[in-house]
Amino acid sequence: MHSACVVGGFLRQREKRGTIIVITLGIDTSCDDTCAAIVENGKSVLSNIVSSQVTVHHRYGGVVPELASREHISNIVHVVGEALERAGVKANELDAIAVTSGPGLVGALLVGIYFAKAFGLAQHIPLVGVNHLEGHILSIFLEEHPPSFPFIALTVSGGHTNIYHVRGFGDYTVLGQTLDDAAGEAFDKIAKLLDLGYPGGAVIEKLAAQGRDDVIDFPRAYLSRDSLDFSFSGLKTAVALYVKRWLEQEQRNPEITVADIAASFQAAVVDVLTDKMVAATGRVKVPTAVLAGGVARNNRLRRTMQERMAREGVDLYISSPEFCTDNGAMIAVAGYQRIMAGQSDGLTLDARSRFPIDQL
């Protein structure tokens, strides 16, 4: 073993069989999951721990920021400790810490940031703040066979629906973004409307599998002809109005079920996401695409995207389900790349509820 001074402090590098080993702790507390992971050289996941708060927020039909922050405070020491234990890594063997600094819920972000500051200070290792969306984009590099640059990436989750032109690590251009609700947020709101529970994505997908997706023609919002932006508020309103009329009918049509509504709604979202991605790859003329983010766990979306991209001759890479939802491993990957590029943050690192990726 040997150590080397790199950036913002001492990056403890260890050599194994002639290869330099850099071990990064990744922390994410951007919303309602407390996440920590240990990743080696920005690609090999030694552990990936996620403590879910679903049972806490289920009764409210969505995330309550104050409750989320309190749960993070209660969970983060245990979650980081479990990540280290499962990885077989001691705290003094870590080389760097990466933590989500935004976007997200400010109170939740601050828990992870202040824990990371204290931990990094105690261990005398560099700390770097990571954009949560960059983490989603780079989650694909946790796969055994990651793509080569450049590629088009769609990050679709509860808080974000964005298309990026990714030219390299840290080199991203926004091609399209949601103008109102994110796709995952629309799933949650429709699930609440149908009294299905929270989180909405999983319950709607499960129910939709029992329904027909072609009996209700919900609108697809494509905006202007050349736009790669998204808008799901109109779809949400259309579903709400349909359900209202459906419930008020004295003699409800027995041919239409809640499963049919769920399936038709899901099909409308998937169609728009897929069509916009196809348009983006054609416009930029990039033969590679990446699908990431929590909604990327949806099997209907995965299948449809694979089929369409195959017809277009585009190589599609999709993050594994465990790396689609919020996790510390994707933050460790992004942080590792920034640390190795000579970047680091000090104790002045702060939370950013809004953090456009073009401001990296």
pLDDT in tens, 179-209: 999 999 999 999 999 999 888 999 999 999 9
pLDDT of residue 198: 86
Residue 68 confidence (pLDDT) above 70 = yes
Which is it for the CA torsion 66, 70, 73, 75, positive or negative? negative
pLDDT band at 2 (very low <50, low <70, confident <90, very high): very low
pLDDT of residue 15: 58
Q: Which residues pair with 14 in a beta bridge?
A: 21
Domain co-membership, 297 together with 167 = yes
pLDDT of residue 25: 98
Domain co-membership, 84 together with 192 = no
Residue 94 confidence (pLDDT) above 90 = yes
Single pTM value for the model: 0.93
Domain co-membership, 335 together with 218 = no
The lowest-confidence range among 67-81, 144-158, 247-261 is: 247-261
Q: Using CA atoms, how far apart are residues 106 and 55, in angstroms rounded to an integer?
A: 21
pLDDT of residue 255: 82
Domain co-membership, 29 together with 134 = yes
State the residue range of the domain holding 165: 147-318
Q: Using CA atoms, how far apart are residues 270 and 275, in angstroms rounded to an integer?
A: 8
> DSSP label at 345?
B
pLDDT band at 7 (very low <50, low <70, confident <90, very high): very low
> DSSP label at 222?
-
pLDDT of residue 248: 81
Domain co-membership, 129 together with 161 = no
Give the position of tokens 């400010």: 106
Residue 121 confidence (pLDDT) above 90 = yes
Domain co-membership, 267 together with 343 = no
What token pair was written down for 146? 């990651």
Domain co-membership, 186 together with 235 = yes
Residue 352 confidence (pLDDT) above 60 = yes
Q: Using CA atoms, how far apart are residues 298 and 94, in angstroms rounded to an integer?
A: 35
Interior CA angle at 149 toward 50 and 291, to 5°? 40
Q: Using CA atoms, how far apart are residues 242 and 249, in angstroms rounded to an integer?
A: 11
Tally the domains of the chain.
Answer: 2
Q: Are 192 and 198 in contact (CB under 8 A)?
A: yes
What token pair was written down for 211? 């329904």
Domain co-membership, 172 together with 127 = no
Q: Using CA atoms, how far apart are residues 187 and 159, in angstroms rounded to an integer?
A: 11
Edge-to-edge order in the sheet of strand 161-168? 171-177, 161-168, 151-156, 288-292, 315-318
pLDDT of residue 236: 95
Give the other-Cβ count within 10 Å of 346's Cβ. 12
- Radius of gyration for the alpha carbons in the chain, expressed in angstroms and rounded: 21
pLDDT of residue 4: 38
Domain co-membership, 172 together with 299 = yes
Residue 8 confidence (pLDDT) above 50 = no
Q: Using CA atoms, how far apart are residues 206 and 279, in angstroms rounded to an integer?
A: 29
Please tell me the total number of residues recorded for the chain in this structure.
360
pLDDT of residue 116: 98
Residue 79 confidence (pLDDT) above 80 = yes
Q: What residues contact 314, with CB distance under 8 A and at least 6 apart?
A: 278, 281, 287, 288, 289
Domain co-membership, 154 together with 283 = yes
Q: Using CA atoms, how far apart are residues 295 and 302, in angstroms rounded to an integer?
A: 9
Domain co-membership, 125 together with 203 = no
Residue 16 confidence (pLDDT) above 60 = no
pLDDT of residue 177: 96
Q: What residues contact 287, with CB distance under 8 A and at least 6 apart?
A: 281, 313, 314, 315
Domain co-membership, 92 together with 203 = no
What mean pLDDT is predicted for residues 287-305? 97
| Pairing, β 171-177 against β 44-52 | unpaired
Three-state secondary structure call for residue 292? strand
pLDDT of residue 6: 46
Q: What is the overall mean pLDDT for the chain?
A: 92
| CATH number of 239's domain | 3.30.420.40
Residue 10 confidence (pLDDT) above 60 = no
Name the more confident of 48 and 3: 48
Three-state secondary structure call for residue 158? coil
Q: Using CA atoms, how far apart are residues 304 and 58, in angstroms rounded to an integer?
A: 30
